[in-house]
Structure 1
Amino acid sequence: MNGPKKEIPVCEICQQSANQTCGGCKLVYYCSKAHQKLGWREGHKFKCCAFKVQFSDTYGRHMVATRDIKQGEMILKEKPAIIGPRMSTAPHCLSCGKKLQPMKIKDVFDFYKCKSCNWPMCGPECEKADIHKSECKVMTDRNYKCTIKYEQADKAEAAYCVIAPLRVLLMRESNPKQYENIMALESHLEDRINTPLYVILKANLVTFIIQVLGLPFDEATILTVASIYDTNAFDVRCLDGTKRLRAIYVTASMMNHSCKTNTRHIYLGDDYNLAVIATVPISKGEMITATYTQTLLGTLDRRKLLRTIKCFDCDCDRCKDPTEFGTYIGSIYCSICNRPFSGGPEKRPMLISSNPLDEAAPWKCEKCDHFILSRQMFWGNNALSQELKKLKKDEPKEFEEFIEKYSQALHPNNHLVVQAKLALLQIYGNQKGHALSELSDHLLKRKIDLCHDLLEVADQLEPGWSRFRGTLLLDLQAVMAVQTKREYEAEKITREGAQDQLMESMTLLQEAANILRVEPEMRPTLEAKIQALTQLLESTE
């Protein structure tokens, strides 16, 4: 019996038989290199990608791999469809997004202001930037003047809530195709419409657009735009902390959420191009995912945040697992079993949710019948989170005391302990008075242990080439190199032993470089560290 006839691939250009496939998407064929180059010039370069967007009743629109994707491969690079300030923020420039510092103007401290609309800006160059022209004109035509002035450092201004939605609305005339693309995104307005925030937006944003600016939009359209922004916007941050914005990337918005994602994203250049990087190998047909929340939160807090901010209930594999892949990052020790228990912290019975997908489900001990109500977990998490926030960011003693204080209640991987450990890593070796060269041998070992503790968490919750893993490896190799140098100079280890340990540090550094070199800001740091470690290796030869 004959099987189905195999389809013969044909050239995209001439429709003749072809045996060469596009190296990028693996979906298009060509009969020759000449026709491949012609196809690229005629538009395939805008369509070529390793993914496609498809729809299902379960996931809605989502992104799947059309071929096997390698770890570290850039899957997507996309310009923002629209970018603007956060809804409430300290004064930032409307053009470049830089956080503004006041200057002395006529014996009074204030910000530089746009000569036309009076919004705070960096200076004349930003005042004239294209991104600000349309909004400035419509405000100037209606004789509107912004009233923001400097009063105190970092004071949040709610007036910024109008800018991003206004920019989308103005695109209806200036860029109708992109406006349609944005309006086709999910809004979840029905879930937000009666929230306190949207009650305020009805009064402020809608009034500003319709009455102050006189633009021809109805209330439903204006609030839909605001809700689309809230549902789909990416939080754009610069590594140096000087800029923080919200942007919509239409194609990247098609990625579904997962609490154990297979990608990470970075921002490139002053235009804030979004680059999506595969953190693990992704097989053909597999869903490509992003995370919309903080990976290092427990399921209870993570799902609540997703429900509040993104209006959906996550049911990914991690959310279904009461132990969160064995990390117990959201769990606490059982107070009953813990009293007489003498085993190590990793062996003590834990309280875990009886149904992680139901935030009201009680939390029960893995060993005995003891349980507590979920609201007690919420209260406890909130109380300890507030306590953590009050600790001095440059004082390691307070974070060490926090970890010790709750060591009988919280698992070493509990998200609150993890936050304290991350704070310690930022202090040890980085803060003034705590440079690596200034740390005692004991604190060098403490920093190494902290790195290993957090790497174990990263392996389970952010596997592969995540930024979390990359920065941890960078910290670990640096402190290991300092420790090796001290031990060698003190003649605690031989030359061969020092060489072996430094080579181990170099291996860690090379992996960190593989992960982080896609970020332009990191390249000088990585090159300097590789050079320094190479010199240290040579000095022990």
Structure 2
Amino acid sequence: MNGPKKEIPLCEVCQQPANQICGGCKLVYYCSKAHQKLGWREGHKFKCCAFKVQYSETFGRHMVATRDIKQGEMILKEKPAVMGPRMSGPAHCLSCGKKLEPMKIKEIYDFYKCTSCNWPMCGPECEKADIHKAECKIMTDRKYKCTIKYEQPDKTEAAYCVIAPLRALLMKDSNPQQYENIMALESHLEDRINTPLYVILKANLVTFIIQVLGLPFDEDSILKVASIYDTNAFDVRCLDGSKRLRAIYVTASMMNHNCKPNTRHIYLGDNYNLAVIATVPISKGEMITLTYTQTLLGTLDRSKLLKINKCFECVCERCRDPTEFGTYIGSIYCSICNGPFGNGIEKRPMLISSNPLDETATWKCEKCDHFILSRQMFWGNNALSQELMKIRKDGPEKFEEFIEKYSQTLHPNNHLVLQAKLALLQIYGNYKGYTLSELPDHLLKRKLDLCHELLELADQLEPGWSRFRGTILLDLQAAMVVQTKRDYEAEKITKEGVQDELMESMVLLQEAANILRVEPEMRPTLEAKIEELTRFLQTPE
């Protein structure tokens, strides 16, 4: 008996039988290379992608894979629809986002100012940049002059709250299609409108747009733009921390949040193009997700941030699990079971949330009846977080003391302990007096142990080719090379043993390179490390 007749694919251009599939989206066919090139020029280049945006009652608009996506594959590369400074912060350039340092002008320290509107800028080149032209013209036409001046280092300036919304509003005339795309994004204005921040924005931002600049927008439209920014904007920053901006990427905004995401994103070039990269293989039909929060935070803190900043409650698998995949990243030890009469031989029982999706739920011991209220967890987290923030990052001692001080209270994976461990990982091997060659054997071992601990955690919370994993692998392989040298010099291993351990380091380095090579700033470092390790492999003496 014959089965159903197989449908013959047709050429996207001429609708004749075709056998050449698009290598990008795997969705359309062509009868020849000539028609593939023609189809690309006629618009397929704007549609060719490995995903589609769809809607459901449960998830709203979200992004799903239209084909199997490989680990490390770039899923999306997108220009910012609109970009601007953060709501407030120290003085920084309106064009490039660089944090500004004062210069001496007529015996007074101040910033370079735009010669037309008086906003602080880097210099004449940034003053003339396209991104600043429209806002500068409207402010100059209305004879508005910015009053920001240098008074003290890192003084927070609230005046920046007007720039990003203004840029979006001005696009109504300069780029109406993109303006409509932005205005179609979720705003959650109804959830924000009565918050203290939006009460201030009503007074300042709305007044600035309507009365100072005389622009024809009503209060609702102005506040909606501000809320769209707060809901959808990506925090754009360069690796060295000298530049920080907010940008809206319309397509990337369609990706849903997950506390265990399957992608990561990076920013490319001076135009801050957003590139979304698969950290794990993603199957056809699977949702493509990113994270809006820090992975190394407990559910209690992540939920609070998402509710305040993004106006939704996450119900992902990690948030539903009171142990967070067995990591206990938000947990503390039970003070009863682990007190003076507790059994120190068994696994030490933890306090975990009785309902992780309810921030008011009590935290109960896994073993006994002891419990504490959620507000006690909040208070404890805040108090220890403040204590940790006060530690100066100029040496390891205080961070080690913090970990030891709370070792009977906080699980080794508790997010506060992890912050201290990450600080130690940066100090050991990188800071003056603590470079790898200077570290005594016990501190070198400490660095190696920290790397292994954090890699194990990364596998559980942020699996695959995350930047977190890539940077730890770089630290680990560098420390392993130094350890190998010392073991050889102490005659603990043979030349053959050296080769084996260096090959293991090379495997780790190659994986780090696979993860990080998409980031232009990392390429020179990776190439230098691979070259150096290759030389060691050839001449281990």
TM over 0.5: yes
Alignment match, 1:99: 99
* Structure 1 CA distance for aligned equivalents of residues 379 and 287 of structure 2: 35
Structure 2 counterparts to residues 25-40 of structure 1, below 5 A: 25-40=25-40
Gaps of 5+ in 2: none
* Structure 2 CA distance for aligned equivalents of residues 499 and 489 of structure 1: 14
Structure 2 counterparts to residues 110-129 of structure 1, below 5 A: 110-129=110-129
1:418–1:215 distance in 2 versus 1, CA, 3 Å:
same
* Structure 1 CA distance for aligned equivalents of residues 531 and 109 of structure 2: 45
* Structure 1 CA distance for aligned equivalents of residues 414 and 537 of structure 2: 38
Q: CA deviation at 1:342?
A: 4.8
Alignment match, 1:150: 150
Question: 1:296-341 deviations in whole A, cap 9, x for unaligned?
Answer: 0000010010000000000000000000001000011111111244
Query: What SS does structure 2 have at the residue aligned with 1:438?
Result: coil
1:122–1:456 distance in 2 versus 1, CA, 3 Å:
same
Q: CA deviation at 1:17?
A: 1.3
Task: Tell me the TM-score normalised to structure 1 length.
Answer: 0.98
Alignment match, 2:353: 353
Alignment match, 2:132: 132
Alignment match, 2:141: 141
Structure 2 counterparts to residues 310-349 of structure 1, below 5 A: 310-339=310-339, 340-343=341-344, 347-349=347-349
CA contact (8 A) 2:16 2:31 kept: yes
State the AA in 1 paired with 2:94. Answer: L
* Structure 1 CA distance for aligned equivalents of residues 513 and 129 of structure 2: 36
Query: What SS does structure 2 have at the residue aligned with 1:437?
Result: coil
Q: Tell me whether 1:411 sits opposite 2:420 in the alignment.
A: no
* Worse-superposed segment, 306-315 or 11-20: 11-20
Alignment match, 2:449: 449
Q: CA deviation at 1:280?
A: 0.1
State the AA in 1 paired with 2:258. Answer: S
State the AA in 1 paired with 2:483. Answer: Q
Structure 2 counterparts to residues 42-441 of structure 1, below 5 A: 42-339=42-339, 340-343=341-344, 347-441=347-441
* Worse-superposed segment, 1-10 or 239-248: 1-10
* Structure 1 CA distance for aligned equivalents of residues 172 and 432 of structure 2: 51
* Structure 1 CA distance for aligned equivalents of residues 160 and 303 of structure 2: 28
Question: 1:26-84 deviations in whole A, cap 9, x for unaligned?
Answer: 11111122211211121111110000000000000000000000000000000000010
Query: What SS does structure 1 have at the residue aligned with 2:13?
Result: coil
Question: 1:229-252 deviations in whole A, cap 9, x for unaligned?
Answer: 000000001001110000000000
Alignment match, 2:502: 502
Q: CA deviation at 1:5?
A: 4.6
* Structure 2 CA distance for aligned equivalents of residues 72 and 129 of structure 1: 34
Query: What SS does structure 2 have at the residue aligned with 1:80?
Result: coil
State the AA in 1 paired with 2:362. Answer: P
Q: CA deviation at 1:533?
A: 1.3
Query: What SS does structure 2 have at the residue aligned with 1:61?
Result: strand
* Structure 2 CA distance for aligned equivalents of residues 19 and 323 of structure 1: 51
* Structure 2 CA distance for aligned equivalents of residues 462 and 237 of structure 1: 21
Question: 1:464-516 deviations in whole A, cap 9, x for unaligned?
Answer: 00000000000000011011111111222111111111111111111000000
* Structure 1 CA distance for aligned equivalents of residues 536 and 245 of structure 2: 41
Query: What SS does structure 2 have at the residue aligned with 1:436?
Result: coil
State the AA in 2 paired with 1:216. Answer: P
Q: CA deviation at 1:394?
A: 1.6
Q: CA deviation at 1:156?
A: 1.1
* Structure 1 CA distance for aligned equivalents of residues 66 and 7 of structure 2: 18
CA contact (8 A) 2:139 2:145 kept: yes
Q: CA deviation at 1:417?
A: 0.5
Query: What SS does structure 1 have at the residue aligned with 2:437?
Result: helix
Residue identity (%): 85
Alignment match, 1:458: 458
* Structure 1 CA distance for aligned equivalents of residues 531 and 23 of structure 2: 35
Alignment match, 1:531: 531
* Structure 2 CA distance for aligned equivalents of residues 464 and 517 of structure 1: 15
Query: What SS does structure 1 have at the residue aligned with 2:493?
Result: coil
Q: CA deviation at 1:534?
A: 1.5
State the AA in 1 paired with 2:239. Answer: L
Alignment match, 2:21: 21
* Worse-superposed segment, 11-20 or 178-187: 11-20
Question: 1:418-448 deviations in whole A, cap 9, x for unaligned?
Answer: 0000000111111111111110000000000
Count of paired positions: 540
Query: What SS does structure 2 have at the residue aligned with 1:264?
Result: strand
* Structure 1 CA distance for aligned equivalents of residues 392 and 147 of structure 2: 35
Alignment match, 1:8: 8
Question: 1:193-226 deviations in whole A, cap 9, x for unaligned?
Answer: 0000000000000000000000000000000000
State the AA in 2 paired with 1:98. Answer: K
* Structure 1 CA distance for aligned equivalents of residues 223 and 325 of structure 2: 39
CA contact (8 A) 2:337 2:343 kept: no
* Structure 2 CA distance for aligned equivalents of residues 29 and 532 of structure 1: 46
Gaps of 5+ in 1: none
* Structure 1 CA distance for aligned equivalents of residues 413 and 191 of structure 2: 34
* Worse-superposed segment, 31-40 or 215-224: 31-40
Query: What SS does structure 2 have at the residue aligned with 1:185?
Result: coil
1:17–1:335 distance in 2 versus 1, CA, 3 Å:
same
Query: What SS does structure 2 have at the residue aligned with 1:90?
Result: coil
Q: CA deviation at 1:192?
A: 0.3
State the AA in 1 paired with 2:47. Answer: K
* Structure 2 CA distance for aligned equivalents of residues 478 and 56 of structure 1: 47
CA contact (8 A) 2:338 2:344 kept: no
State the AA in 1 paired with 2:499. Answer: Q
1:452–1:343 distance in 2 versus 1, CA, 3 Å:
farther
Q: CA deviation at 1:21?
A: 1.1
CA contact (8 A) 2:232 2:253 kept: yes
Task: Tell me the TM-score normalised to structure 2 length.
Answer: 0.98
Question: 1:139-180 deviations in whole A, cap 9, x for unaligned?
Answer: 000000000001111111000000000000000000000000
CA contact (8 A) 2:336 2:342 kept: no
Alignment match, 1:467: 467
Query: What SS does structure 2 have at the residue aligned with 1:166?
Result: helix
- RMSD over aligned CA atoms reads 1.1
* Structure 1 CA distance for aligned equivalents of residues 454 and 432 of structure 2: 23
Q: CA deviation at 1:359?
A: 0.6
